[in-house]
Structure 1
Amino acid sequence: MTSVNLTRIPNRLASIATCKKCNLPKHGRKGSQVTIFPSRKNAAAIFCESRLEAAFCLELERDLNVLKYVAHPFTMHFTGGRYRYTPDFLVQLTDGEQKLVEVKNDDSYQDKVITGRITRYIDWLAEQGCTLEYLPAAKFYGKVRTPNLNRLYHNAYSSHGDAGTSIRNLLTKCAPNRRTISFLIDNGYAPADISHGLFYRTIRCDIFKPLRLTSFVWS
C-alpha cells in the first residue's frame, strides 16, 4: 500500500522552518468539533478538527487526482520563532506531486488578519518549491450538496463499484437515458452500488437537490 511521504515537504523547507509531529486533535476550535472521517483511500480514520475539514475529506475521496492524504501532517516552526503553522492537509497526487491545503469557513477567509497570515505562508512555501492551497468553504461546501455527498459516501462504503459499468450500460439503453434511483433498484442494483456510482461519478445526478428514490440519474 502506498503511503504519503511526510519528509519531502519538510526537507524542502529546511532552510526556513523546522517541521515537527502534530498531535492528533482532542477537541475542535471554538465553534467546531472533532470529527473522525473513515477514509477509503487511506484505509484509516482521519481525525478532523471540524466538520468543515471532514466535508473537505469528501472532496479528496472523490477527486481522481488524489492518491492519499493526511490531516495535520506536521507543524512548521519558522526560523526566528515568530510563527508556527499547521496545515489542514497534506495531499499526495497521482502524478507524484504533493501539496498542502488549508480550508477556512467563509468568515475566517474574509478576515484580513487570518488571510494575510496564510498568504504570507503561501509565499514563503512557494519560494521553497512547495504549494499551499487556501480554500474558503464556499469553494466546496454546499448546504444540500455536501450532505448528499456524505450520505452517498457512507452508503457506498461496502461497495467496490463493480456494478458501475452495468448501471451505465442500462441507462445508456434507455431513451432518454434518465431514470430514477428506484428504477435502478427495481432492476436489481443494490443501493450501495448505486451510491458508489453517484459518488464517484460513474453515473450522474443533480447533486445540488435533495436525493430521493424519485431523483433522476443518467449516464
Structure 2
Amino acid sequence: MPILDAPRECPIKSHYGKHSVYFPSQKNQTQIVCDSTLEADYCVLLEFEPTVERYQSRPGIFKISVDERIHDYTPDFLVETTELVYYTEIKLDFTKLSARVNAKLQAASCYFNQLGRLLRFADENSIRRGEYLRNLKYLYLHSFNVGADERGDCARQLEALTLPIRLGDLLTKQNGPSTRSIYKAIFDQVLIFDLRQRLTINTQLEVRNDGHQHSESWCSV
C-alpha cells in the first residue's frame, strides 16, 4: 500500500538533453517551470479552462511504495479548480512506458486516491489537438497586458456590433478595440468560433450567449 507522507519541496533539476521551459501564466501571475514544450502546451489548456483557478508545476516529492520499496515521485502538475483538486502526469505516449515506470504511476495513483485526490494522465494526443491547440497558443501569446480600460472599451464596442463579424473586419474597424483586447476576448470565450478550424481573418465571430460565465475581468467592465 502507498505510504502516506507529506511532500517535500521539489528542487529544480536539470538533466542532460532536457531543458526547462518557462511558461508565462496569467492565472498564476508568475512563470511556470516546465520540463518540456508538451508541459508548456498543457499550461495553455489550463489557462483556457474557465474552471481552473490556479496550478503549479513540480508540486512536491511524495514517498510511494512500489513492490515494497520506497520511491520518490513528483507529479508534473497540481491543479486547483472550482470543483476539485487533482494532480497530472504528462508523458508523450503512455503506451510506450516501461513496466517499471507503469508500476510507479499505478502506485502513485493509489497513493493520491488515499488522499482523496486524483492523478490524471495527459499525453501528446490529448494535449496537442491540431488546430485547437494552435489557435489557443496564438490567442494566448497575443493577448497579454490587456488593461481594464482596454477591456471596457472592447466590451462596450462588442455590445454595439452586429454579429457575426469577420475577424478581419473587427481588427480593421476604425477606432475599434485594440488587437490584443480582441484576442483576449476570444481566448476568454466572450467571442467564440469553432476552435477546431484555423483562425484566420475570414473567421466568423459570435458572442457567447449560452449562460457561460465569463471571467471576472469582463463581467466587471
TM-score range with shorter-chain normalisation? 0.7 to 0.9
Q: What code does the residue aligned with 2:172 have?
A: D
Alpha-carbon distance in structure 1 between the residues aligned to 2:86 and 2:145: 30
- Write the mapping of 1:123-162 to structure 2, written as runs, cut at 5 A: 123-160=110-147, 161-162=151-152
Q: How many residues align?
A: 198
Q: In structure 1, what is the equivalent of residue 182 of structure 2?
A: 194
Find the aligned partners of 1:33 and 1:167 in 2 and give their Cα distance: 43
TM-score (norm 2): 0.78
| Structure-to-structure mapping, 1:1-219, within 5 angstroms | 16-27=4-15, 33-78=19-64, 81-95=69-83, 97-105=84-92, 107-111=93-97, 113=99, 114-160=101-147, 161-163=151-153, 165-166=155-156, 168-170=158-160, 173-174=162-163, 177=164, 179-187=165-173, 188-219=176-207
Mapped partners of 1:35, 1:58: distance in 2 = 13
- Report the AA paired with residue 135 of structure 1: A
Structural RMSD (CA)? 2.5
Measure, in 1, the Cα distance between the counterparts of 2:122 and 2:157: 34
Q: CA deviation at 1:203?
A: 0.9
In structure 1, how many angstroms separate the alpha carbons of the residues matched to 2:134 and 2:15?
23
Q: After the TM superposition, which of the residue ranges 183-192 and 74-83 deviates more from structure 2?
A: 74-83
Counterparts of 2:95 and 2:37, CA distance in 1: 16
User: What amino acid sits opposite 1:196 in the alignment?
Assistant: K
Q: Quick check: 2:64–2:108 contact (8 Å CA) kept in 1?
A: no
Partner of 1:7: none
Report percent identity of matched pairs: 22
Instruction: Give the letter for the 2:170 counterpart.
Output: L
TM-score, normalised to structure 1's length? Answer: 0.78
State how far apart, in whole Å, the 2-side matches of 1:159 and 1:104 are: 33
**What SS is found at the alignment partner of 1:20?**
coil
Secondary structure of the residue aligned to 1:90 is strand
Task: Kindly indicate whether the alpha-carbon contact (under 8 Å) linking 2:86 and 2:117 is maintained by their aligned counterparts in 1.
Answer: yes
Q: Distance in 2 between matches of 1:130 and 1:164?
A: 40
Secondary structure, counterpart of 1:84 in structure 2: strand
Distance change (3 Å), C-alpha of 1:123 and 1:143: same
